[in-house]
Amino acid sequence: MVTRYTDCTFLPGRPNHGKNQKSAKVAAIPCTPAAQVGRGAASSEMEEKSSFIWQIDGFSSLLDKQEGWTNSGYFKIKDLNWYLQLNLKDRKSGDEREYVSLILVLSKTSGLEPDTIVEASFKLLIYDQAYGRHSEHEFSHRFQTTESSRSSGISCMILVYTLKEPSSGFIVGDSCVFGVELIKFTTAKVKDGSGTLHVQKRIGFCSAREAYTWIINDFLSLKGRCYSPEFEIGGHKWYLTMYPSGTGIDGDKEILSLYLHMAKPNGDASLQNSGVLVEVSLSIKDKVTSNRKTMTGRCQLQATEGEGWGWSNFMATKSVKDWYLVKGSCLIEADVAILGSSKMN
């Protein structure tokens, strides 16, 4: 059985971080929908391949995790946002062995109109870092804005046993490299222009797990997007964003959306392209009892763009009011475990 985080999304970060806030009391900030790409009437076709490489350091920590999907950061192809999903515990029907699955996903934040179809032919790769005998599979998929069509689908590429074999060359120095190569790309809605790929520098692996609690004193007065104060875990600055009435991505204004962001560091330019692979649990709970709602997932976050990762459909706003408010107040908790570092280019 395959576990998917079907409603996890990435969102842009704050336009201006400012100074770290000392007070836990929050102010409402008008909701800003996810950035949308421009649209044109003419079809476009990509003549040259575009590639994206995702290197995960401290890879053994992922191998120890239970079944579930790990998400890369965003990368752009033809002005559309994409990300990769990795599963190291996938199975084929009737086969109890564990497989490595890699999936290409068109992000909700790409802003496509419902009738837009993006046809893409591409290769998904696991790089053999020692001998160059890469594991690669070629796919074609018609991506659309519906939930089932944003993903390229299940792809059991190789056995986990094969990946872990010391002689295979796939894991070198506790590092593993995945990627996608675009072969052909056509769309009827996206304007012309080459996609820009973000390059993330390698950082040292640092194992850390801590929790931060955001106190919200008057939930019922909040409207639009709200920011938590910045907090530090594992040597990096983080912040949370919450949408009490949804982000607008799913069109539902009666849901609470919740995201974790990596803050852009000040001063040290070498840190501005850094990023980490994390496991994050976001919770909402009341201030008196242990009553809580928690969602957990794994993703790559980087400070360059300040993009966030979380759930647009975290829970119904009515449920927050019915179960988690004590005199109008509640707590948001972020439990963040740093699994390793990674880079994208």
- What architecture does CATH give domain 51-188? Sandwich (2.60)
Per-domain boundaries in the chain: 51-188, 204-344
Cβ-based burial of 27 (10 A; exposed 0-12, middle 13-18, buried ≥19): exposed
- pLDDT tier, 120 (very low <50, low <70, confident <90, very high otherwise): confident
pLDDT tens-digit profile of 77-118?
Answer: 777 889 999 999 998 888 889 999 999 999 887 677 777 888
Cβ-based burial of 277 (10 A; exposed 0-12, middle 13-18, buried ≥19): buried
For residue 164, the model assigns a pLDDT of 96
Task: Please provide the average confidence, as pLDDT, over all residues in the chain.
Answer: 76
Are the folds of 51-188 and 204-344 the same? yes
DSSP letter for each residue of 301-313: EETTT--EEEEEE
Read off the pTM.
Answer: 0.61
Mean pLDDT of 34-62: 59
pLDDT tens-digit profile of 153-167?
Answer: 878 889 999 999 999
From CA 89, how far away is CA 282, in angstroms rounded?
Answer: 23
For residue 267, the model assigns a pLDDT of 57
| pLDDT of 227 over the 50 cut | yes
pLDDT tens-digit profile of 235-248?
Answer: 888 999 999 987 76
Mean pLDDT of 14-36: 34
CATH T-level topology, domain 204-344: 2.60.210
From CA 157, how far away is CA 50, in angstroms rounded?
Answer: 21
From CA 159, how far away is CA 91, in angstroms rounded?
Answer: 9
